[in-house]
Structure 1
Amino acid sequence: MNTQELSRKYAMAVFSLALDSWLTPLKAVEHELGNNATLAATLQDKDRSFSERQQALDKLIPGDSSQQVRNFLYTLLRDGDIGLLGGIMGELTHMVRGGPLVQTAKVTTALPLSDKEKDDFRQKLATQYGDSLEFDFNVDPAILGGAIVQVGDKVIDGSVVTRLAAMSNALGVKS
């Protein structure tokens, strides 16, 4: 093993330890908020005092969490952004899995896809964008049918609702 490989190995070990000390408590809080909508609403309620909301949040934070993790969560709480924790965790997970080299393909359909349909999407998008894709499959009945695919800043909108809107515009129909 050359010095560069050895340096990378040590750096990855430190990175993993440092990251784990943040991800573990943040995941625990995210999990609790995801499973308790009432508590999540309480923490977002600006009519309640910060100290009251902070006490409620403290009950969710694992006892062995660093003060830095606590301060981060308190900042989210103070700024009314504690509801963003799920999105923050998604971004952190994305960064950990490969950083900017890995892209997320968000696939939205009107109905849930079968495993085969998901595999078909994976194959077609991997052919077009490469193998460094993570997939996020979502269901939104409002699109009526078809699919909306977003990879990076590119959006392919093949939804029925968009096609109907385009036809209405072409025919001069006002909605």
Structure 2
Amino acid sequence: MSQSVAAKRYAVALFEIGKGKSNLDQLEEELLVVQDVFNHDESLSDFLNNPRVSGDQKKEFVRQVFKDVSQDTLNTLLLLIDKRRVDIVQDLVSEFVSMKNEARGIAEADVYSVRELTEDETKQIQDVFAKKMTINTLRINNIVDPSILGGLRIQVGNQIYDGTVKTQLKRLEQNLVTANK
């Protein structure tokens, strides 16, 4: 079973538990903290993936490190240790956040621009694309990319809206090349 399929299964299970208990926001916050700890502490992953360390030692360590998280989040981590699937924590968190956002009508977008967007520009993009995509909210992650020359490139999931000067110049070049043939 691939990692993404396994991560999705665990994320779906945790999502359903959270939905039943109406604590999806809390679970998301906790999972983001867990993800952050895994991202910034390579020794944690090394320890949890070490075959010389017993499962009980790993579980006790996780109980100590994540003592402030809910029982549902902790049980998920302990289950991942039991099933030797600690390596899917990052994917599990991503899947969970995606499911929560989709259930709430929230999408995340990467907006590439030549400079940092102002608050008004960000709000305007959120409003236009939320209506266009029939969602409630669009969260924007602004990425400054001077190579686009001007305009915007917006990526929401697998959809890309490209209105950059760089792309327009490429299209113009292609049209001129094909017109001269």
Pick the TM interval, shorter chain. 0.5 to 0.7
Matched, 1:115 2:119: yes
What's the counterpart of residue 27 of structure 1?
32
Equivalent of residue 129 in structure 1, options 124, 127, 133: 133
What's the counterpart of residue 15 of structure 2?
none
Cα distance between partner residues in 1 of 2:83 and 2:169: 41
Q: Give the aligned residue type for 1:16.
A: S
TM-score normalized with structure 1 length: 0.58
Percent identity for Structure 1 against Structure 2: 17
What's the counterpart of residue 4 of structure 1?
none
Provide Cα deviations, 1:56-91, integer angstroms capped at 9, x if missing partner: 972532266346312454389736333335523531
The structure-2 alpha-carbon separation of the partners of 1:138 and 1:117, relative to structure 1 and needing over 3 Å to count, comes to: same
Cα distance between partner residues in 2 of 1:22 and 1:166: 45
Cα distance between partner residues in 2 of 1:23 and 1:136: 18
TM-score normalized with structure 2 length: 0.57
Q: Any gaps of 5 or more consecutive residues in structure 1? A: 1-11
Aligned residues of 1:30 and 1:85 also touching (Cα < 8 A) = no
What's the counterpart of residue 65 of structure 1?
71
Cα distance between partner residues in 1 of 2:82 and 2:147: 36
Aligned residues of 2:31 and 2:93 also touching (Cα < 8 A) = no
Cα distance between partner residues in 1 of 2:173 and 2:45: 40
Q: CA deviation at 1:113?
A: 0.9
What's the counterpart of residue 80 of structure 1?
87
Equivalent of residue 161 in structure 2, options 144, 156, 171: 156
Q: Any gaps of 5 or more consecutive residues in structure 2? A: 1-17
The structure-2 alpha-carbon separation of the partners of 1:142 and 1:76, relative to structure 1 and needing over 3 Å to count, comes to: farther
The structure-2 alpha-carbon separation of the partners of 1:51 and 1:21, relative to structure 1 and needing over 3 Å to count, comes to: farther
Higher relative contact order (CA 8 A, sep 6+): 2
Q: CA deviation at 1:147?
A: 1.5
What is the aligned-residue RMSD (CA, Å)? Answer: 4.1
Aligned residue pairs: how many? 151
Q: Give the aligned residue type for 1:119.
A: K
